[in-house]
Amino acid sequence: MTTDALSTYWHRVRAEIPALPADVPEAWAFGATPEHADGLLDLVLTGIKTGTASSVWDYEASGERMPEVGDLSVILDGAGAPRAVIRTTSVAIVPFDQVTAEHANAEGEGDRTLTAWRDIHERFWRQHSESSRGWATDMAVLCERFALLHPLP
């Protein structure tokens, strides 16, 4: 993704939603592969996915700022093109084994059960964690909820 493509996208979104700030928000993709990014983006665009989870250990390893309520994000597809804008509506940090069934359902993956969420996320963090700590049942998980601002499903 080029800075120009992101800037052009943000300008177009702001033309539709003038109340958004002039500064382009952080842009990122879900998942660790282009296919994963596209699949999760599709869930967001259809209104199924309204939550995501991140490893606090990964934030610590990367030095990235953790999301806060009110943050805007541009969501990229697997090719790095801007496709959506979300606003963070809630953030909670809980141990992996205390993530709720309600949050698992909001993530929209698999059959949307807590069992599926645990399987999917354990596998993800074992394979793709930015932290050398990887995964543990008591690891801190940032559970984020968001609203899709653009495009609406």
Report the CATH number that the domain containing residue 23 is assigned in CATH.
Answer: 3.10.400.10
Output the pTM of the full model.
0.93
pLDDT at 43: 97
Q: Domains in the chain: how many in total? A: 1
Q: Could you tell me which residues come within 8 angstroms of residue 70 by beta carbon, excluding any fewer than 6 positions away?
A: 87, 88
Q: For the chain of 153 residues, list the mean pLDDT of each consecutive stretch of 10.
A: 87 96 97 96 97 96 95 97 98 98 97 97 92 90 98 80
Whole-angstrom distance, CA of residue 90 vs CA of residue 143? 8
pLDDT at 108: 97
Is the Cβ–Cβ distance between 56 and 64 less than 8 Å? Answer: no
Domain interval for residue 89: 3-150
Q: Could you tell me which residues come within 8 angstroms of residue 77 by beta carbon, excluding any fewer than 6 positions away?
A: 29, 34, 37, 38, 41, 83
- Phi and psi at residue 125, to the nearest 5°: -70, -30
